[in-house]
Structures are given as C-alpha cells and as structure tokens.
Chain A
C-alpha cells in the first residue's frame, strides 16, 4: 500500500560517478579512452573492434541483404551516414569468411537549395563529398533535391514487392554465391564520373516556395523528409538498386520515435524506425546504424578520422521550441545527460514495434505522401473520428461547412462498418474517401492523419510537386468512378463474401 505521507529524501541525488576505472574493461590492459554506456570504459583498440563487430552483427542477424545484391548507401555527409560508409568499406576489405558480399553504391542528396545555401556553398560541399566518395572507389550519384520536382508519379506507388523469401532462401543464396565464385561479381562495378546535374534556378525557387509555404518548421521538416525519401527511392529504382541503407543512429531514432508519436504517426512507427522498411515494395530501406548511439559514432569518427562534411540543415541554430522534432531532440538529450539509459530504453521499444498486418496487407490504400497504409479508415467510435468531430465543432460554421459530420451519410458509413476494413481497402478506399470527397480539400482524403496535418500547415496545396498532384487527381478520379458504379461493386463483393 502506498502511504499517504511517504517520506521522500529530498531531491534525487546524482550518484557519484563510480570513479570509472582508467583501464579498458575488456582487455584490462590498455588505458581507457571512451565511456560507452554508464561505466563501460573501452580502450581505442577494443572500441574499434566492438564498433566494427556491431555493424556486421546487425547485418548478419537480420539476413536481409543478399550476397551480390546492389545496395545504395544514402550518405548525407553527416557523421552517422559517413560512419556507415566507412563500415561498409571496412566490411568489404575483410578476409573471406567475414567479408560483406553486396555491391554498394552511394547517393548524396544535395539539399542546399531547400535550406537556402548559396550556389557556391553547395558547390563546395559537393566537391568535398565527391572527394570522400571517390576515395571509396564505389560508384556514386550526386542528386540535387530539385530533381524531386520532376519525379514520375509512380514514386508514390508501392511497387509489387520482391518475392517473399523463405526461411532457407538466405542460406541457399549464400551457397549459390560461393559456388559461382563470388569474386567475379563483386569487382564488376566500375566507378563512373557522372557530371553533377545542373540545377536550374527556377527549380530552386519553386522548391523554396514549396518549403516556404509551410507555416511551421515542424511541417517544413516533415515535408523535406518526405521529399527526400521519394527522391531516394526513385534514384534507387532507376539505378537498379533493391536496398537503400539509411544512416539513422540509435539516438536519432529515439528522437524520431517520440516526435513521430507527437506528430500523429503512431500507426507508421514500425516503418519509420524499424530495421527494415518495406513500404515501397520493391525497394527496401534498411537502417544498419540503429545500434549505435550518436556518441559512439562521434568518437569513432574522431579517433579513426572518418571524414564527414558538415552542412547546415533546417534545424541549425534554432531554439529548442522551434519545432516538435527539435523540442523532442532537446528533451531526449537533456534526459540522456542525467539518465544515460534514456536513449537505449526508447530504442528498445522501437525494436518491438510491428506494423498492423491487416493494414499493411498489399491491397490497402496508401497515403499519398508517406506511402504507409492509411490509418484514417477508423471506425466511428475511434479517437480519430473524435478528433475530427471536435475539429469540426471548434471551427466557426461557415455555410458550406455546416453539412453534417462525415459519418452521417448512411450509405457510406454502412459500407464501412458492414464490409469491414479489408474490403474498404480492396475497393481502393472508395467508400471512405467518398464520405470526405465533397469536402473542400479533397487531397486530405488521400493522406494519413499525420500527413494531413502537415498539408494543413501549407498555405497552398498548389505548390506541391507535380507528381504528387497528378497522382492525387488520378486517385480522386478513380474513387469518383467507383462512387458512380458503387452499387454494382457492392453486389460483387457481397457475392464474393
């Protein structure tokens, strides 16, 4: 039982550091250089070994990257992705039985235009990074973010996935690779000099207009993340890569987990923060750095002179409260300073998350922006519909908006509740979007809850890139068509069911 007047002994006292021993806890010989978790001191040599082993263990444990597969490393120039690059290099130079066996390539997305860097600054950053990439000997691509304006609308579709790998497939692929003399395949890639794509000033302007139309930094960051991811996936698809490695560290993912929840992306968490992300179907995003804390990476890069190139981002030099993501970061790092297991605790949670199978099933409708399964087909008595209702009530009722709440039209709600979520999905969201189709911003019906919020923060939807708008029109036309022939469709489904 809790006592009413339980005695608490003053404020929590910070435990005296257990006078970290000056010796490496592993080899117990060399002097320590790094403290990893609370109290675990490693020397230089042991730290390097530990760091390198962790990368290989991460890839080995997950068995996702097949021998001979083409893997695109997304390198931003930051410490984490540059560290990932050096780990891949390290892995490819190992002796036979430990060697990584995939074919890496590098992509750098130049976001200078989006964050308002001058042409000269962008040039300089690209030159520095190209020097780093050239030294690796891997083929590399430098893609300006402006390219996102010319993407085809197929980017936001989830392509049919790679064939489901069965349990023994990995082993079989490895054996096959070894038999066919793996060395021949690995050396095949040549580093080619592709001249960096010229950026038209007009494109930079429209990109800046797009990001500038976001009224909050929170929405701007979300938008930038989305655009970047679309461009990465498109680059991987058109260059024939099947996996993309992202450099998210454990600290970064912990921040992302908490800020995603605050942004209403709870349903998509497993995809956003997991080791592998298959939302695009044919291209799988992988996060091999998710076991490293930002501290480990910074120390490793410093001690073993891993080159990285600092570029200012949207968040640079902003105050703590400028955006939800920024605030979450400062919350996590501050807590981490006094409670060193904060990040790992949050991170362990993210490991256990799984996306809802019924939502993730192939036929379901996907958000136009983040390409995750839509979470807006919720039942009437859900938190989501409650949010919608209270949003509606709190708005001053203009004549055109005084129509009843979305669930009011009987046919629509009937079909939703009667046929159930799966059928809804199969019919391309016809019923769920039909309820909202007549609302002023029709784009919203194609988005998940969180992306709706982001779009709501834009001053105008017109500024969105063409590929998104045209895909939106296509989907809306389709759902309109469905609406028109709905009676027939319903009978069909009744027969099938």
Chain B
C-alpha cells in the first residue's frame, strides 16, 4: 500500500487550454495498492483534470505525439517514460509543441 503522492503538474504551450486554462496544478494522488507511475498518472489526469477533448492530450496509453514531458526538469526519456515511479513532490511538466497548441 503506497501512501498518497503530492505532485506539481504544469501545462504549457497551449496544453493548458485543455485543463481550464490553468497552467499550474498542485494535486495529491490518492493512495493505492501499487506505487504511482506516469502511465497511471495519465489515466488519472484524463479522469480528473481534462475538461474537454481528451484525445488532444492522451492517445492510447501515452501522451499525444508532439506533447513533451519533463519530470523534475529532465526529459522523461531519461526517466523511463511511462514506467517512471512518481515520488512525493515530483514536478511533471507537459508542453505542447503543436501548432496552435
């Protein structure tokens, strides 16, 4: 049983439009049997934060191509992408590089 995880989410480059235009979100992920990883975080975001057009943010298991992810200011490719296990106080940033956001 993992404890709840408090993390800071940021949306930029137009991705914030999908989450009510708010760039910064301080959220606490509830405790669950397994530790939280990025894959589950995306599911959680889809259910709790995305207000409209979820297909413009998540596609399949992962984020839509063209949206960059940084975990604690480092490329998520260095952190194991979807399998990275979130720690308390982690900082996750989503930046859209698509034209028009």
Q: Which residues of A contact B (CB under 8 A)?
A: 17, 20, 22, 31-35, 41, 79, 251-252, 255, 294-295, 297-299, 302-303, 310, 312-318, 325-326, 329-330, 333-334, 336-337
Asked if A310 meets B75 with Cβ closer than 8 Å, knowing A298-B95, A334-B65, the reply is no
Cross-chain contact A33 with B100 (CB below 8 angstroms): no
Give 28 CB contacts A-B under 8 Å: A20-B78, A22-B78, A31-B74, A35-B78, A41-B75, A41-B78, A79-B13, A251-B97, A252-B99, A294-B66, A294-B97, A295-B68, A297-B97, A299-B70, A302-B73, A303-B73, A310-B14, A310-B101, A312-B100, A314-B100, A316-B17, A317-B17, A317-B52, A317-B101, A318-B100, A329-B66, A333-B66, A334-B65
Q: How long is the Cα–Cα vector from A31 to B74 in the complex, in angstroms?
A: 10
Cross-chain contact A35 with B75 (CB below 8 angstroms): yes
Cross-chain contact A32 with B74 (CB below 8 angstroms): yes
Question: Chain A contacts of B100 at CB under 8 A?
Answer: 312-318
Cross-chain contact A255 with B95 (CB below 8 angstroms): no
Cross-chain contact B70 with A302 (CB below 8 angstroms): yes
Q: How long is the Cα–Cα vector from A117 to B16 in the complex, in angstroms?
A: 17
Q: How long is the Cα–Cα vector from A34 to B14 in the complex, in angstroms?
A: 21
Question: Chain A contacts of B77 at CB under 8 A?
Answer: 17, 20, 35
Tell me the count of chain B residues lying within 8 A, CB to CB, of chain A: 25
Cross-chain contact B95 with A302 (CB below 8 angstroms): yes
For B56, B73, B77, B100, the residue with the greatest tally of chain A CB atoms inside 10 Å of its CB is: B100
B3 beta carbon closer than 8 Å to chain A: no
B98 beta carbon closer than 8 Å to chain A: yes
Cross-chain contact A302 with B14 (CB below 8 angstroms): no
Q: Which residues of B contact A (CB under 8 A)?
A: 12-14, 16-18, 52-53, 56, 65-66, 68, 70, 73-75, 77-78, 93, 95, 97-101
**Nearest CB on B from A476, distance (A):** 36
Other-chain residue from A20, A32, A333 in contact with B98 (beta carbon distance below 8 A): A333
**Nearest CB on A from B56, distance (A):** 7
Cross-chain contact B99 with A315 (CB below 8 angstroms): yes
**Closest chain B residue to A314, Cβ basis:** B100
Q: How long is the Cα–Cα vector from A333 to B56 in the complex, in angstroms?
A: 13
Other-chain residue from B52, B53, B74, B99 in contact with A33 (beta carbon distance below 8 A): B74
Q: How long is the Cα–Cα vector from A181 to B99 in the complex, in angstroms?
A: 43
Q: How long is the Cα–Cα vector from A31 to B78 in the complex, in angstroms?
A: 10
**Nearest CB on B from A469, distance (A):** 30
Which 9 A-B residue pairings sit nearest by Cβ, starting from the closest?
Answer: A315-B100, A294-B97, A337-B65, A333-B66, A313-B100, A316-B100, A333-B65, A35-B77, A33-B74
**Closest chain A residue to B72, Cβ basis:** A33
Q: How long is the Cα–Cα vector from A179 to B101 in the complex, in angstroms?
A: 48
**Closest chain B residue to A115, Cβ basis:** B100
Cross-chain contact A312 with B14 (CB below 8 angstroms): yes
**Closest chain B residue to A43, Cβ basis:** B74
Q: How long is the Cα–Cα vector from A334 to B12 in the complex, in angstroms?
A: 20
Cross-chain contact A33 with B73 (CB below 8 angstroms): yes
Cross-chain contact B70 with A79 (CB below 8 angstroms): no
Q: For the A-B complex with A79-B13, A302-B95 known, give 5 more contacts whose Cβ atoms are closer than 8 Å.
A: A20-B77, A22-B78, A33-B75, A298-B97, A336-B65
Question: Chain B contacts of A302 at CB under 8 A?
Answer: 12, 70, 73, 93, 95
Q: How long is the Cα–Cα vector from A255 to B77 in the complex, in angstroms?
A: 24
Question: Chain B contacts of A252 at CB under 8 A?
Answer: 99
Question: Chain B contacts of A329 at CB under 8 A?
Answer: 66, 98-99
Question: Chain B contacts of A295 at CB under 8 A?
Answer: 68, 97
Q: How long is the Cα–Cα vector from A326 to B98 in the complex, in angstroms?
A: 9
